[in-house]
Chains A and B, each alone.
Chain A
């Protein structure tokens, strides 16, 4: 599915990709042949600080600050691998609210979600794309915590600006999503 999202990008046109994970060499290498602007917001490394904040407004301010630093160029592709599992409903809602002003009709959000297993690694693992845009998992935490197992309908309720374009249940129990903006939001 990620291959499909990448193959839709035009080598001749400027493309804007937002990676909400820790930067990996594979991601940079994959988009290097494109006229690409790659925005990186390393949310996995911000999660411990977010978790330590008990006040909702404080968490909101922390997230807003991360996004304020970035320009408002419309997005073509958002990489959200495994991250949403580690955010609460309010945080996911706020995250998409912050991203929505940069949506255009062609924007796609690619996400991996825990679906089948009640447990998941205690910290987000890394996904590394290869040159063919195939994703490979690495650095999986052996410690496990309870998985939120967000259902597709629930995600649609939490993220009203987005609708799933494709979903795939993977053999490892993860659900792979490709979201697109709903017409009213584009």
Chain B
């Protein structure tokens, strides 16, 4: 996301911040941040040039750059194809673009203690899933890749 497209605060590419960031507006990070980012009612975007070593707590989070730490989104979390992430992601909805690199844990359980405690008093329960994997339904023919022969 470019700074022109973004409405809210911007940490530019030449800026480095160590410490705790708090506020009530959306934030785009193109610089370096170490510490903690708490924008629990707003969105945080780590832009392609952003380098974050921090725990992030926000309503929604988009990662296009590098993040190391715990990322907690009460609504949703998006990892773009340019994202390089190491750590723990906790959000009821997680979307990922192929190409993103990730090592760690993605917790999509809305009942997870971590998300409940981080956003105490706010609803984090997503809408019920519209569709479930159809594997629970009647078996389909040719369910293994073509040409398979069950030898079990």
Contacts and interface: CB of A to CB of B under 8 A. Distances in A.
Do the two shown chains form a genuine complex with each other?
yes
Interface in B76-100: 93-98, 100
B151 interface: yes
Contact of A167 (B94, B146, B152): B152
Nearest to A10: B136
Contacts of B95: 25, 28
Contacts of B111: 14, 35
B144 to A, nearest CB: 6
B132 A11 contact: yes
A153 interface: no
A169 B105 contact: no
A7 B133 contact: yes
B107 interface: yes
Given A23-B96, A37-B109, A42 B133 contact: no
A5 to B, nearest CB: 9
Contacts of B93: 32
Interface band, chain B: 35 or more
A31 B101 contact: no
Nearest to B139: A3
Interface string B111-149: 110000000000000000101111110011001111111
A30 B131 CA distance: 10
B135 A33 contact: no
Interface in B9-48: none
B50 to A, nearest CB: 20
Contacts of A135: 145
A25 to B, nearest CB: 5
Contacts of B146: 171
A165 to B, nearest CB: 8
Interface of B: 93-98, 100-112, 129, 131-136, 139-140, 143-152
